[in-house]
Amino acid sequence: MCSVVEMDLSRVYRRLASVAPKGLIDHIKKEFTLAGMRADPIDVAGGWLLLYLLYGIVSVAVYAVLVHGTGPWSTSAYITAFDFFLAGVAISAVALEMSTYYSIRDRAKRMESVLPDFLLMVASNLRAGMTPFVAFTRAARPEFGELSVEVTRAASNLGATASLNDALDELSKRFDSIILSRVVVVFKKGVRSGGKLASLLVSSAEDIRRIHDLQSELVITTRTYAIFLGFIIIVIMPFLLALSGQFVAMFLQVKAQTASAGVGVSSVVPMFGGQLSVTPTDMTNLGYLSLIITSILVSCLAGVIMSGRALDGVKYAPVFIVLSILMFIVSRIMIGGMLSSLG
């Protein structure tokens, strides 16, 4: 029964994938290779398109039930529903891309953590009299995890006549790692120059370990800055935005009271003259928008500070958004209660 359902789903996926652009399929194939996934890119492309449509339909249903209600549908309502559909598709696309990105990054970090030991093993095999290619393949031990799996797969795909350079090129295509790419370049230069490859591998392993130590020290050093940024976006900024919104509300209230009483306050206090085009509702909506945008930017900055990549910090954005908005709501309630008690 399960196999029949899987076959039916596979047909649906492939039919949807037939209308997908070739660039999407190539992109999925490349990302799944870097993430270590062995799924069929055509089936995955169809599954992604189906998920995009489902998210879009759910977004339209949310709009129809919670926003539009049971009233008649006008042209503007259909346009808004279509906007919700596009928003749902965009959210699903971003969610899938980010989940795949983090899988690729986590896999690369796991590989880089065992790469120095792997290089030392290759150097030991070279000193034992093995050829570079044999030393490379024999170093694939189970304790090296995914690196060992990819080394074995790269060697089997190339065949027995392949060189070490070919195997390294094939291996570098399976991990999103700048360190591995640089190691491959160093290997190639060492092989071409005829230098002592074992000594070169040992020095490369030591350099990688030194880089890991420096990265750990950098994370510890910059953690204070990341915490400070989080404190600003979660506590200080929501409080200031709530205070500005309450100030506008109080300003309009005082102006309305003086105007109804017929007191010429504007001649004495110029700030009460003229018309104020900003309402408290506008300030509240601007506060929500500012917190969302700033939370995303701060999370990207935190990613740059901690790991050097902005996308590594995007995973903190939902936490910043939720906490900052909750703090904004609480601040509005607290400041409003204090001002009403004073009045």
pTM: 0.73
Report the range of poorest mean pLDDT among 12-26, 228-242, 259-273, 300-314. 259-273
The answer to whether 210 and 300 are in contact (CB under 8 A) is: no
Residue 99 confidence (pLDDT): 86
Report the range of poorest mean pLDDT among 37-41, 98-102, 197-201, 242-246. 37-41
Confidence of residue 325 (pLDDT cuts 50, 70, 90): very high
Instruction: For residue range 117-145, list pLDDT tens digits in order.
Output: 988 888 888 888 887 778 888 888 888 88
Of residues 314 and 267, more confidently modeled: 314
Q: Is the pLDDT of residue 326 over 80?
A: yes
Residue 164 confidence (pLDDT): 66
Instruction: For residue range 267-302, list pLDDT tens digits in order.
Output: 545 555 556 667 778 888 888 999 999 999 888 888
The answer to whether 241 and 287 are in contact (CB under 8 A) is: yes
Of residues 295 and 259, more confidently modeled: 295
